[in-house]
Structure 1
Amino acid sequence: MDTADERDTQMDWQGGAIFRPVRTGNAFEETVERILEAIKLGVFGYGDRLPAERELAARLHVSRETLRDAIRSLQQAGCVESRRGRYGGTFVTYRLPPPDLGELRRAVQDMGTELEDALTYRLVLETGASEQAARRTLTADERAYLTGRLTDLEEATAEEYRQLDSRFHLAIAELTGSHTLATGIAESRMRLNDLLNAIPMLERNIMHASEQHRAMAEAILAGDIEAARRSTEEHLEATAALLRGFLG
């Protein structure tokens, strides 16, 4: 996993899909929502330090007072904690809750046709993102960023896996160079996040997914547009099949 200093050097793109300017009149509520999305999607996992207050307030286009209020509320909810001193800051304390398959099956039934809509939307956005990332000439830092996210995922414990899986997919979105596309993928992922987290951790599936993730990353780094699209489509269709099987 990255150190806090290493993460700071990546912030030009990490979290950009979520830490976008707040545009509604509900600045406090939307600030809380954005930070929670970043945590639940794995952009920042348990023990990670959030960006510095000045940087995060600037990214969200909110006052530092509004940001402090949001962080205090998240601290009271047990999602983050603030530490003082040279190595202080705001650190994530949120852990994914254990899945409740009964509750999630009811949620799927309530979604009805919306589930297939969400899966189709995700497929179109993420295959397009992989194609676009492969099409671009990535910088050395961007290549290292994608490789680092893949390594983190391949070395993840069972407890870390879901969040690091999200982080890998969002990294590809951020490397497209399209803020709008990256934002759409983050929103799409959030729409399905609780359901994806409910899929049991099957050893054979994890091995298969690992092969697919590596194929995706290698195709993007090689600039192979067709292979990037094909490997991403194969991976997302496999995930959708498991989701339908366990929660249908």
Structure 2
Amino acid sequence: MTEAPLHEVRRAVYRPVREGNALEDTVARLVQTVRLGVVAPGESLPAERDLAARYAVSRDTVREAIRELADTGYLVRRRGRYGGTFVADPLPQPPELGIVPAEELEDVLGLRRVLEAGAARAAAGRTLAPEVRDDLWARHEAASAASEAEYRRLDTLLHLTIAEVAGIPSLVALAAENRARVNAWLDTFPLLPRNIEHSNAQHERIVTAILAGRADAAEGAILEHLAGSEALLRGFLA
């Protein structure tokens, strides 16, 4: 399957950074791009000059950010005709986080419920173009057919596609930042095969409700879906 372009998600992760912390924010934005799977392991990032223009920073800042992430194993730089900066494949193993403070966990998960439930309801309330409907269903099918190694990336892209389909660009940026934080936690514990099966069935109910224009059903299905991953996060981290 050719992946849908996710224009608003890409705008969110490549938007200009703050002037006062240009290097730190550029590093964080690149990490967010990797954690969200916007650029898959083994794929190349945009050219340095393009990243500098998108982040509104100097090329030196971009080079330094890439150097930092190459040193930690997230990125690989290659020279030559087919060179560039690539996401590491495989990515480095995330460090053990230990116990996450309950207030931090609940803050992030609470915001996720508001953002994702609102996105599902808004998406279901819109009249979607045929190509948008096809892209959303294709994202669901890609996640359902994903290997274990690819599952979390394609699951993430499905959720971000729902945020994009909602038609509220500023929502996409908030959802991307929130999901990157959640993924940093999810990546610290293993996928559970039965949980994947359950998750895929819930995805189908969510997407079907959105495509049918049933806002209440879409919101209810996604809240039920999020409750399952919240239980795992609390069990492993809290």
- Could you state the TM-score of these two structures normalised by the residue count of structure 1? 0.82
From 43, 64, 73, the equivalent of 2:68 is 73
Is residue 26 from structure 1 mapped to residue 26 from structure 2 by the alignment? no
The residue that corresponds to 1:107 in the other structure is 99
The residue that corresponds to 1:171 in the other structure is 161
The residue that corresponds to 1:42 in the other structure is 37
Secondary structure of the residue that 1:51 maps to in structure 2?
A: coil
Contact 1:39 1:94 in 2 (8 A): no
- Could you state the TM-score of these two structures normalised by the residue count of structure 2? 0.85
Query: 1:1-248 residue pairs with structure 2 within 5 A?
Result: 2=2, 10=5, 12-83=7-78, 88-93=83-88, 95-98=90-93, 103-104=96-97, 106-108=98-100, 111-248=101-238
Change in Cα spacing, 1:88 to 1:155, as seen in structure 2 (3 Å) is farther
Paired positions, count = 238
Change in Cα spacing, 1:113 to 1:32, as seen in structure 2 (3 Å) is closer
Deviations 1:100-144, CA, capped at 9 Å, x for gaps? 6xx43x332xx1322122222211111001111222233344334
Change in Cα spacing, 1:99 to 1:53, as seen in structure 2 (3 Å) is closer
Change in Cα spacing, 1:146 to 1:58, as seen in structure 2 (3 Å) is farther
Root mean square deviation of aligned Cα: 2.6
- Aligned partners of 1:58 and 1:176: how far apart in 2? 27
- Aligned partners of 2:140 and 2:203: how far apart in 1? 7
Identity of aligned residues (%): 49
Q: Displacement of 1:212 after TM fit?
A: 0.8
Q: Displacement of 1:182 after TM fit?
A: 1.4
- Aligned partners of 1:37 and 1:86: how far apart in 2? 28
- Aligned partners of 1:33 and 1:193: how far apart in 2? 14
Change in Cα spacing, 1:223 to 1:17, as seen in structure 2 (3 Å) is farther
Contact 1:199 1:246 in 2 (8 A): yes
Q: Displacement of 1:208 after TM fit?
A: 0.6
Change in Cα spacing, 1:89 to 1:98, as seen in structure 2 (3 Å) is closer
Letter paired with 2:26: T
Letter paired with 1:146: L
Contact 2:108 2:182 in 1 (8 A): yes
- Aligned partners of 1:231 and 1:246: how far apart in 2? 24
Contact 2:41 2:91 in 1 (8 A): no
Q: Displacement of 1:39 after TM fit?
A: 0.1
Change in Cα spacing, 1:159 to 1:26, as seen in structure 2 (3 Å) is same
Letter paired with 2:63: R
Secondary structure of the residue that 1:90 maps to in structure 2?
A: strand
Letter paired with 1:42: G
Letter paired with 1:68: R
Letter paired with 2:140: L
Contact 2:48 2:62 in 1 (8 A): yes
Q: Displacement of 1:52 after TM fit?
A: 4.2
Letter paired with 2:149: E
Q: Displacement of 1:236 after TM fit?
A: 0.3
Change in Cα spacing, 1:90 to 1:218, as seen in structure 2 (3 Å) is farther
